[in-house]
Structure 1
Amino acid sequence: MPKLFLRGLAVLVLSLDVAGCAQFERHQQNISMQDRTNSYRKAIRWSEYDIAKSFIQRQDESAYEYDADFYNAIRVVENEIESREMFSEEGFAKVYSKVKFYHVDYNTVTDLVDEQLWWYDEETENWYLDGGFPNYKAALGQ
């Protein structure tokens, strides 16, 4: 009887340990996602597009190209993350960011909501943006 009890206790302890590890891993992914999305937000806010581009890695491995002249003429007034939805089991997250900006040729502040899809790469243990920069052209009606 004591052997059966000890075996059951060992199984219980191991299952709690595994559950605790999974919860800790999800917590670490959540912190990493918040850090990455905040760093990306700051890069966009200060028009550091070369830095912002380093956060973009598309899942289909296609290259992301952008019109540097156009983006260099954009001035971001405000960029705030409105919400983050993390789906850690599936390895992706959605981020909604409100961006206020103007183009130097127009001097009219325009708002847009930038919907971002982020995915988690288990190899590098990093989050990447599967998309591109905010679509300023669409918001400007171009």
Structure 2
Amino acid sequence: MRRILIVVAAVVLLAGCATAQRKDALTSTLNAYAATLRWGSFQSALKFVDPKVLQMNPPTSLDMARYQQVRVSDYDEGAGPSVVAENEVQQVVQLHLINIHTQSERTVIDRQTWRYDPEAKHWWLTSGLPNVTQD
């Protein structure tokens, strides 16, 4: 009986550690992604997008040209991420964009979906980069 209790306690502790690691990885990933967009590197932000999503729907040269025409002046996560499923979270972000040619600012809403890959221990953006052409 004592061995069973030890095994059960070990399993519970390991599950708790895995959850804490996943949460820490999410926080680090979301912070790094936000910093990447704040510094205006949409090209670098592609590294956060799920490779399967990129393969099925790669950004066009026109998309990338549009990203080069804007700078992020504010990145507001609002309430932060909310859990949708065991390995999936969603986050709604307000991006304040400045057109580098006209210096006019506008706000777009970016609805992000992030998926955790337990094998790679990595969070991937499955919703793609924000649509900077929305009105």
Give the TM-score taking structure 1 as reference length: 0.82
> How far is the alpha carbon of 1:104 from its aligned partner?
2.5
Q: Report whether the alignment pairs 1:53 with 2:46.
A: yes
Structure 1 counterpart of 2:16: 23
CA contact (8 A) 1:86 1:92 kept: yes
Q: Percent identity?
A: 20
Aligned-CA RMSD value: 1.8
**Deviating more after overlay: 108-117 vs 70-79:** 108-117
Counterpart among 123, 126, 129 of residue 125 in structure 2: 129
Instruction: Return the alpha-carbon distance in structure 1 between the equivalents of residues 102 and 128 of structure 2.
Output: 23
- The 3-state SS of whatever aligns with 2:17 is helix
Structure 2 counterpart of 1:86: 83
Instruction: Return the alpha-carbon distance in structure 1 between the equivalents of residues 41 and 77 of structure 2.
Output: 17
Q: Report whether the alignment pairs 1:36 with 2:32.
A: no
Q: Equivalences for 1:53-72 in 2 at 5 Å?
A: 53-57=46-50, 59=52, 61-66=55-60, 67-72=63-68
CA deviations over 1:38-75 (Å, ceiling 9, x no partner)? 11111111111121000001555524314221110001
CA contact (8 A) 1:95 1:115 kept: yes
Q: Which has the larger radius of gyration?
A: 1
Give the TM-score taking structure 2 as reference length: 0.86
Structure 1 unaligned residues grouped into runs of 5+ = 1-7
- The 3-state SS of whatever aligns with 1:86 is strand
Instruction: Return the alpha-carbon distance in structure 2 between the equivalents of residues 48 and 101 of structure 1.
Output: 13
Instruction: Return the alpha-carbon distance in structure 2 between the equivalents of residues 115 and 63 of structure 1.
Output: 17
Q: Which amino acid aligns with 1:137?
A: T
- The 3-state SS of whatever aligns with 1:97 is strand
- The 3-state SS of whatever aligns with 1:14 is helix
- The 3-state SS of whatever aligns with 2:59 is coil
